[in-house]
Structure 1
Amino acid sequence: MSGDVWFTVLPDGESGVTAARLLRPWATAAIPHHSGRPWLLGSWPDGHVTVGAAGARRVAVIGRCPVTVEALSERAGRLRDIGDVERIAHGLTGSFHLLASVDGSVRARGSASGVRRLFHARVGGVAVAADRADRLAAVIGAAPDEQLLAAHLLASPLPYPLDDRCVWQGVQAVPSFDCLLIDTDGQARTQPWWTPPEPQRAWQEGVPAVRSALTAAVDTCTADGGTVSADLSGGLDSTSLCFLAARAQERTRPPGAKLVTLRWQSLDPENDDAAWAVRAAARLPDSEHIVPAADQWPFWYGDLASLTGDAVPTDEPGPWVRDGARMAELCRLMTVRGSRLHLMGGGGDELFSTFPPHLHDYVRRHPLAAWSRIRTQRTSQHWPLGQLLRQLADRKTFGQWLTAWAEGLIAPQSPSTALVRSAPPTAWGVDLRMPPWATGDAAEAVRDLLREAAATAEPLAPERGQHTALACVRTGGRGLRQLDQVTSRRGLGLAAPYLDDQVIEAALAIRVAERSTPGRYKPVLAEAVRGIAPDDVLRRNTKGEYSTDFHVSLRHHRSALVELFDGSRLARAGLIDDAAVRASLLGVHPTPEGLRSLSSSLGSEIWLRARPAPTCLTSPATTEGAPCA
């Protein structure tokens, strides 16, 4: 099925019937509560929604999960009340939304990573939830929130703790770790449904759980049979998924099973991804391997004009537009070969690497082991000792760090900084800066958001290493969510099994410092797939680098990028100086760091241009649910 895939969740009361009338013009499918009143409205392909029923109890799984109607109905029969949903759902695998309707109460949640999200708004006077914010925005006539658009210049997807904010006025995002409860009167509230695991397992003890969870996650991708496709970049993340998918198809032999892999070639002759991908492909003889020639695979920033001429497929801005032409070609190459789902390695770095902030924790817990690791890494990467010691001595709380980040948003970066070796940041996160083309008003708007967050936000975990891993998982999940909206519109769903909840829980239960060790690359993942992926493929300890692709793509599309910012919508909103953008694009950039924010700004600009303008003005009536034409 091509086209937007979406659903809305309605309360089980007469007020929900009124909201349904407003939503029905957009919907092509509906599922009722036990009462007969509408519960789910939307548009989705066959097999995307599974509903189990037992008396007045309804449980729905929406997304990738191989549970049958009969099995889900059996689980619904064990449901005591609305608060019992997670217990009866225990053991479900995949990536999905979980919904329940019990005795008039409604419960809905997405996934911990943010791959599956929920939003809610008042429609026809009652709370209505949806998996796409723009569907709710359309029915209430909402406009984009310029303060949140300013934050998308900083980074997109938004970094924690701004990532649970919605870019549409009047539409609220349900926090990833929370579920939404709606009563019969259409009143909504949230409560936690997921708690991150404590990282207490030794890595050897954690490997079996990772292997089991990852195997089950990939099995959900192949369970329906037919052709599935996967990236085979040569990196350990995508390579492991390809061997897991091939093994799942061989073990279960679903009808018509076939694996197609895709590798695009870097423009850098020193990038060794290709050599490792060729080695892996040779060990997958029953799969079809697609390798477009360099002149057949689009550069970054290609065909941007086509994105402004059609309704943009994502419900919020995102940096995916840099890869828009590539995503279109991916869909064409895979769907013509019959693929219904494409696997990507997103999430592997987040789960099976350690980020520098873990050193701040490690040096306090195990100082001798930490200093040994620091000495080894400092020698190989030439970290300045004084700078590193100052960072390790920092004792800021999460709130204090947020405040300091807010105050340094527009601190200029020395032009030579990117060329000088520096110690990796060990704070609660990266102190991102507003791009040099952001206006003072945009910077002040983001500063206000961070100051507000600093007053109440808590870290995702007590220590910096686990907090950083969780924050990166959320960023990766929301990035994948956007890519899936892009490709699903063209008939190809995306899956990132590393970002499935059960895989996240297994991986993040391992002690942070043990997820990687000097001299071994991603040891937990390598051991988890040992015996599934060949040993010679698992010996890789390098990672591809793509600066050359950036420089070539920028040179090839520079004039189109400069032209795109003429008459900028962001400039019209007072968020950027379009002349400053053009000056940066025409400048010299020895490394990609100088244009780090380009993809986020470009994504916001195209998203604004492609939004269909509402034909009614925002008013109390539209806020209550009168749809715009």
Structure 2
Amino acid sequence: MERERMTGGSAAGDGLAIDGLGDVRRAPGTRVQAVTEGPVVLAVVGDCPVTEQELHAALAAVRARRWGELTRWPGSYWVVADDGRQRFVCGDLAGVRAVHYTLPGGEGAAWATQAHFLGRPLVPDLPWLAARLTVGGHHWPHRGPYEEIRLVPGGFGLLLAPGAPPQLIDISGVDAVDELREGADRFGRVLTEAVQHRVRAAGGVVGADLSGGLDSSAAVVLAADAGDVHAVTYADGYTSGEDMAFASHVAEHTGIAHTVVLGTDEQLPFSFPAGQPTGGEPVLEAAMYAMDASYLHPVRGLPLHLTGHGGDIVLDSSSACWVRLVQDGRRREAHRQVVAFARLRNTAPGPYWKALKEAADLGRSGSLERAARALERGPVTPQAAVAGWSWCRLGAGASWLTGYGRHQVSALLRQTAQDQQPELADEFDQWAVLRSAGASARGWAPYGAALGVRPVYPYLDNQVVRAAFAVPALARRGLVTYKPLLRAALPELPDWLTSRRSKGSFTAQRIAGLARHLGRLTELIASSPLADAGLIDPAAVSASLAQAARGQSAMVIADLHQLIVTCWWLSGQTTGREAAAC
């Protein structure tokens, strides 16, 4: 995906013109299919098996400005369409295929698939990055890490017309069904096609992640039915034995080639080896680069590399589905399910239920306002890790803010409280986590390019996402069965796989990595632009970092991970041009 890039409008950048779209430039090697009829043009850029006949038929949708119809082919791609008066540009629902744009200037709006092709100085937006560390970036889906550069949110396209400001067009197009069974067959078909059309098109051995989890395992089983697969698994002294057992069982069941790469302390998180690309935005995977370089080496240079990334989002849902029940007036049903869920996991249902009721009563805007007031009142103590879902939880990052930082973040929260976003908890949550998964995949692109790996994310394809989100979030949230949509959609998967209820994690590796690199990480944070700008207190972070490195404060590890990769990324943003070259 790294090589597939475009610019349009008044954006700067060298490259080849797309037929019929002379002002749109593409990088050499970018895969483009384009058709024209008079002034009407349609181009599909990226991984899409659409035929020329199908593209010609879709010109009718361009003329009628039915933009969402142009996003319903399999694969992962951008669309550029022009009816002679307006131009429509969009990526995918998850945001793996991003579209960045600037607000109109003297020459109108410019857009590009990578921010550094917009021809603007890339100035990191430090208050927004601080807010992202405090409450997550999902409250600002239209913003990215740079000042004055906007991001088209996943699920939307960009409509450009002379003399008019850029307009965001909703292209999500989810056709809801009533229950799991009704949508499972369609989900199974589109997921199978998403995996297998890529394997068939590769014409040779393809690589694949095989962690032992349900998502990567299901993708590998589907891929093995369509072609030759070489799967890779990372293991070290901290790896779950259950994960390894499942990965080995899947490899034996499918008869694929399987390489287990044994990592050492050199591959622990947060090493940031010399020569690691910086990329266009901070992503959690940056901390895992040494591990990735180690275990992906055996599949370097293969036509593509399948991953299970995004499976958690489409196959499951969060406890936001129970908040939605309360919002819909179905409080007794919500309470019954929450109690059953808590008892199955030997946890007290009371605090869990209280958190969900508060979320329903406050709503999104009220929750953001409450968080803003808490920041304005003074130093914040991180909230306990209550399992219940929240619109806006102040995590450990809030406790690291200075007074100035709290003021900046509270102002951003109040501003976004007025934005048009879903007020139904399950809808808001599933789009938020989908866009987060898309950003993670998008941000890993330069790392994949450096490692000679071309990742694909079938769980994040438009049609897979639509088929999953058509099933109610409540139905995807299994009380007894983990990820019930997968079992219902692909009954041919072995029962020993779909009956797995556990999930591995890298928490132990992260704690060990924090301990190994403690001194360097403390210095990195203290010298970061976030500290220089007076947004975070390095002493407060240092105390949390030392505790986490001793294994005494596991609840802050996720926030520390985000802060560390943000500070490391900022250390590479000395100038816009240097950042663009990374």
Whether TM-score is above 0.5 comes out as yes
- Of 426-435 and 95-104, more deviation after overlay is shown by 426-435
Identify the residue that residue 105 of structure 1 maps to in structure 2. 86
Task: Give, in whole Å, the separation in 2 of the partners of 1:360 and 1:559.
Answer: 43
Could you tell me which residue of structure 2 aligns to residue 454 of structure 1?
Answer: 417
Q: Which residue of 1 aligns with 2:534?
A: 574
- Provide closer, same or farther for how the CA distance between residues 493 and 429 of structure 1 changes in structure 2, counting only shifts above 3 A: farther
Name the CA shift for 1:294/1:93 in 2 (closer, same or farther; >3 Å): same
Q: In the superposition, relative to structure 1, how do residues 387 and 111 fare at CA in structure 2: closer, same or farther (>3 Å)?
A: same
Q: Is the 8 A contact 1:82 1:101 kept in 2?
A: no
Residue 96 (structure 1) aligns with? 77
> Are 2:40 and 2:82, in contact at CA under 8 Å, matched by a contact in 1?
yes
Question: What displacement does 1:477 show?
Answer: 1.4
SS at match of 1:428: coil
Q: 1 CA distance for matches of 2:105 and 2:331?
A: 56
Provide the residue aligned with 1:189 in structure 2: 166
8 Å Cα contact 1:228/1:341 also seen in 2: yes
Could you say which residue in structure 2 is the equivalent of 1:66?
A: 49
Q: One-letter code of the match for 2:115?
A: A
Q: Which residue of structure 2 lines up, in the alignment, with residue 548 of structure 1?
A: 508
- Secondary structure at 1:484's aligned position in 2? helix
Q: Following TM superposition, by how much is the alpha carbon of 1:615 offset from its aligned partner in structure 2, in angstroms?
A: 8.2
Q: 1:163 aligns with which of 116, 120, 141?
A: 141
- Structure 1 residue 44: Cα displacement: 4.6
Could you tell me how far apart the structure 1 residues matched to 2:373 and 2:44 are?
44
1:335-367 alpha-carbon deviations (Å, 9 max, x no partner): 1xx313222212221222231222233356655
Residue correspondence of structure 1 range 299-314 to structure 2 within 5 A = 299-307=268-276, 312-313=278-279
| Percent of matched pairs sharing the same residue | 26
* 1:114 paired to 2:114: no
Structure 1 stretch displaced more, 276-285 or 468-477:
468-477
Contact 1:177-1:195 at 8 Å conserved across structures: yes
In structure 2, the CA distance between the partners of 1:219 and 1:59, relative to structure 1 (3 Å rule), is farther
Deviates more, 1:115-124 or 1:58-67: 115-124
Is residue 398–residue 406 contact of structure 2 (8 Å, CA) maintained in 1? no
Amino acid across the alignment from 1:483: W
CA contact (8 A) 2:100 2:151 kept: yes
- Please say if 1:333 is aligned against 2:298: yes
Deviations 1:540-589 (A, max 9, x none): 22212333222222222223323433533322222223343333323344
Q: Which position in structure 1 is the counterpart of 2:322?
A: 359
Partners of 1:434 and 1:443 within 8 A in 2? no
Output the CA distance in 2 between the equivalents of 1:80 and 1:559: 57
Moved more, 560-569 or 275-284: 560-569
Cα distance 1:331–1:134, how it changes in 2: closer, same or farther (>3 A)? farther
Deviation at 1:449, TM superposition (A): 0.7
Distance 2:261 2:196 in 1: 28
* Match of residue 324, structure 1, among 271, 278, 289: 289
Q: In structure 2, what residue type is equivalent to 1:146?
A: L
Q: What is the one-letter code of the residue matched to 2:16?
A: A
Deviation for aligned residue 1:602: 1.7
Instruction: Say if 2:400 is the partner of 1:437.
Output: yes
| Deviations 1:446-477 (CA, angstroms, capped at 9, x unpaired) | 11111011123332xx5323322222112111
Cα shift at 1:259: 1.3
State yes or no: 1:608 paired with 2:570: yes
SS of 1:129's equivalent in the other structure is strand
1:473 aligns with 2:423: no
Q: Is the 8 A contact 2:36 2:42 kept in 1?
A: yes
What per-residue deviation string (whole Å, max 9, x for no partner) do you get for residues 496-552 of structure 1?
Answer: 211111111111111222213322111111221221x32332222221233322222
Q: 1:43 to 1:490 in 2, by over 3 A?
A: farther
Matches within 5 A, 1:13-412: 19=10, 23-24=12-13, 27-33=14-20, 38-46=22-30, 48-68=31-51, 70-79=52-61, 81=63, 83-87=65-69, 89=70, 91-121=72-102, 122=104, 125-136=107-118, 139-154=119-134, 158-184=136-162, 187-195=164-172, 197=174, 199-222=176-199, 223-249=201-227, 258-265=228-235, 267-268=237-238, 271-285=241-255, 287-295=256-264, 298-307=267-276, 312-313=278-279, 315-335=280-300, 338-362=301-325, 369-394=333-358, 395-409=361-375, 410-412=379-381
TM-score by length of 1: 0.83
For structure 1, the residue ranges without an aligned partner over 5 or more in a row are: 11-18, 250-257, 617-626
Which secondary structure does the structure 1 equivalent of 2:264 belong to? helix
Q: 1:504 aligns with which of 465, 477, 484?
A: 465
- Bigger mean CA offset, 220-229 vs 366-375: 366-375
The amino acid that maps onto 2:362 is: K
In 1, the alpha carbon distance for the partners of 2:577 and 2:209 equals 42
Displacement of 1:151 after TM fit?
2.1
Q: Deviations over 1:20-73 (max 9, x none)?
A: 6xx24xx23322436xxx232142525x222222333221112211124x2354
Gaps of at least 5 residues in structure 2 are: none
When structure 1 is superposed on structure 2, of 220-229 and 234-243 the one drifting more is 220-229
Q: Is the 8 A contact 2:177 2:183 kept in 1?
A: no
Pick from 555, 558, 561: which aligns with 2:518?
558
- After superposition, give the CA deviation of every residue in 1:75-95 in whole Å (9 maximum; x if it has no partner): 3553552613433x3641111
Residue 7 of structure 1: aligned partner: 6
Q: d(CA) in 2 for partners of 1:62 and 1:584?
A: 45
TM-score (norm 2): 0.89
SS across alignment from 2:366:
helix
User: Relative to structure 1, is the Cα distance of residues 300 and 269 closer, same or farther in structure 2, using a 3 angstrom cutoff?
Assistant: closer
After TM superposition, give the deviation of residue 130 of structure 1 in Å.
0.7
**More displaced 10-residue stretch of structure 1: 166-175 or 77-86:** 77-86
Checking the alignment, whether the CA contact within 8 Å between 1:82 and 1:105 is kept in structure 2 is no
Cα RMSD after superposing both structures? 2.9
Number of aligned residue pairs: 570
Inter-CA distance 517–601: structure 2 relative to 1 (3 Å threshold): closer
1:518 to 479, 490, 496: 479
